[in-house]
Structure 1
Amino acid sequence: MYRFLLSRQWVILTLVALLLIPTMIRLGIWQMHRYEERTARNELVSDALDARPVPVERMTSPGHTVTSKERYHSVTAKGRFDTGDEVVVRRRTNSDDAVGYHVLTPFVLDDGKVLLVNRGWIPADGPSQTEFPEIPEPPRGEITVTGRLMPDETTEASGIKNLQGLPDRQIMLINSEHEARRLGAEVLGGYIVQTAPAPKGDTPEPLGKPGSEDAALNYAYAIQWWLFAAGVPVGWVILVRRERRDRAAAASAPAEDKETAPAPA
């Protein structure tokens, strides 16, 4: 009755089904791991954004690598901006995906150490990409700034190549070690994205808060893959039963034809 399962066509079909089931289960497990990773990241970001600001030197120091738990934590610092050593970070976009620069200004603390402050985004509307753009002045004198702590940027993490031979006072990546060598000063590890005080005239344009990753989508994909895996054997059984029914109907057709055929005269 089921000898047709030994045919070449059905052997191949069965092997494909047996291969698809564990593959789809593994894909579901992978999506569930992605869901757990994104959920954990969202919780870390939310906890960091909700935490009370602390003095920056409690979170970082020269040579320190900002960890994922420290990232986005709100910190404060007291000192003054040093616009003479200010640089711009090329090829950065704002919330409307317009290409421009991030303004990176050294902030000299009371103890002489330097904190890198990303003051925000400005448009690249100068006459050329080689000229240093016009940048709004930060507050003068001693002030207290607040910002979100960020790790040093790398090509591996950002996908941005650290190009050489750039115009004067232009960089591709924010890196405290590189800036320490350039400034000849002790620079705290990482940098901050300034959140206060707000710039006059909203320029540089403040950078928005980090968005949460869509972890629920990975959860839905995991369920989807597991449903597909459960559907493969169900579909295989349906196909087998239909094939058996079709073959039985084809075998009974000649017998019925003989019974209904007219007798010879």
Structure 2
Amino acid sequence: MYRFLLTPRWIALHVVVLLVIPAFVLLGRWQFGRFEERSANSDRVTANLAAPPVPVESLAGPVAEEDDRYRAVTASGSYDAAQGLLVRRRPQEGRPGFYVLTPLVMADGRAVLVNRGWVKAGATADTPPEVPPPPTGQVNVTGRLRLSESEESSGIRDRQGLPAGQVLLINLDTIGKRLPYELLGGYVDLTGQQPDTDPAPEPVPAPDVGAGGGLNLAYGVQWWLFIGVAIGGWILLIRREAADQRAEGAQAGADEETAAPAG
């Protein structure tokens, strides 16, 4: 009855099913891994945003650690407006614009790069944006610690030939080579400062923590459900073929009895 399972057509179907099942297992495990990774990242960022601020130099020495991303930090010093930079291609709320970077020189002679916020682009690509100046004298800032950017981490391709005072990446190693003092290994997205200024660049929004990988969990479950669908469909096709074989056999037997001469 089941000899049809050894025909070339069915052997090909068996091979496809046996290849599909482990592929779906691996895809499901990959999605579950992404769920765990993103959930851990979401929990870490949420905790860092809620943590009380600490001095930036306690976290960002020569480098800043991945686990300290978005940690609330404080710093005191004076802005070096002459060394300020604009970061191109930084849209905010769907509007093209720039981030405003200004070094804050601290009492020990080192500096931390502060992203003072966002300004809209000029009327044309060649028109410089209007940038409010930073406050003068001693300044106390609070903000979120950020890591140095690279092409890989940001997805932004760096290039040469930009207008003076503009960059595409907040790469602290590259920027630090232009400055007459040492930069800390992380920069700060400004959330508050004393004294404040008006006008001032628009604040950079807090990161969207998101669903913590919830979609990855759903996709992982979906891939593993596909395993059941593949096995169930395979069994259903075998049973249907066997039923057809039995029906054909019964019909052939009935035809033979009908055709047999009367004894």
TM-score (norm 2): 0.92
Cross-structure match for 2:159: 163
Secondary structure class of the residue paired with 1:30 = helix
Specify the code of the residue in structure 1 equivalent to 2:208: G
Distance in 1 between residues matched to 2:131 and 2:190, nearest whole Å: 15
Cross-structure match for 2:85: 87
Q: How many residues align?
A: 260
1:246 to 240, 244, 247: 244
1:142 to 135, 138, 141: 138
Distance in 1 between residues matched to 2:11 and 2:176, nearest whole Å: 67
Cross-structure match for 2:113: 116
> Cα gap change, 1:229/1:128 in structure 2, threshold over 3 Å: closer, same or farther?
closer
Instruction: Give CA-to-partner distance per residue, 1:26-76, whole Å, 9 cap, x none.
Output: 111111100110011011101111111011111112xx2211111111110
Cross-structure match for 1:57: 57
Distance in 1 between residues matched to 2:210 and 2:199, nearest whole Å: 27
Specify the code of the residue in structure 1 equivalent to 2:224: W
Secondary structure class of the residue paired with 1:13 = helix
Specify the code of the residue in structure 1 equivalent to 2:165: R
Instruction: Give CA-to-partner distance per residue, 1:97-128, whole Å, 9 cap, x none.
Output: 22211111111112221110001111112444
Distance in 1 between residues matched to 2:79 and 2:123, nearest whole Å: 24
Distance in 2 between residues matched to 1:201 and 1:34, nearest whole Å: 43
| Cα drift, residue 162 of structure 1 | 1.7
Q: Is the 8 A contact 1:91 1:172 kept in 2?
A: yes
Cross-structure match for 2:94: 97
TM-score (norm 1): 0.91
Distance in 1 between residues matched to 2:197 and 2:253, nearest whole Å: 95
Secondary structure class of the residue paired with 1:103 = strand
Q: Is the 8 A contact 1:60 1:188 kept in 2?
A: yes
Secondary structure class of the residue paired with 1:29 = helix
Distance in 2 between residues matched to 1:97 and 1:8, nearest whole Å: 57
Structure 2 unaligned blocks of 5 or more: none
| Cα drift, residue 179 of structure 1 | 2.1
- Residue 77 of structure 1 pairs with residue 75 of structure 2: yes
Distance in 1 between residues matched to 2:260 and 2:249, nearest whole Å: 21
> Cα gap change, 1:2/1:83 in structure 2, threshold over 3 Å: closer, same or farther?
same
Distance in 2 between residues matched to 1:158 and 1:176, nearest whole Å: 13
Secondary structure class of the residue paired with 1:197 = strand
| Cα drift, residue 258 of structure 1 | 4.9
Cross-structure match for 1:175: 171
Specify the code of the residue in structure 2 equivalent to 1:173: L
Cross-structure match for 1:209: 206
Structure 1 unaligned blocks of 5 or more: none
> Cα gap change, 1:251/1:200 in structure 2, threshold over 3 Å: closer, same or farther?
farther
Q: Is the 8 A contact 2:85 2:167 kept in 1?
A: yes
Alpha-carbon RMSD across the aligned residues, in angstroms, is 2.0
Secondary structure class of the residue paired with 1:91 = coil
State percent identity of aligned pairs: 43
Bigger drift between 1-10 and 180-189 goes to 180-189
Bigger drift between 77-86 and 193-202 goes to 193-202
Cross-structure match for 1:37: 37
| Cα drift, residue 235 of structure 1 | 1.6
Distance in 1 between residues matched to 2:203 and 2:88, nearest whole Å: 16
Distance in 2 between residues matched to 1:258 and 1:112, nearest whole Å: 105
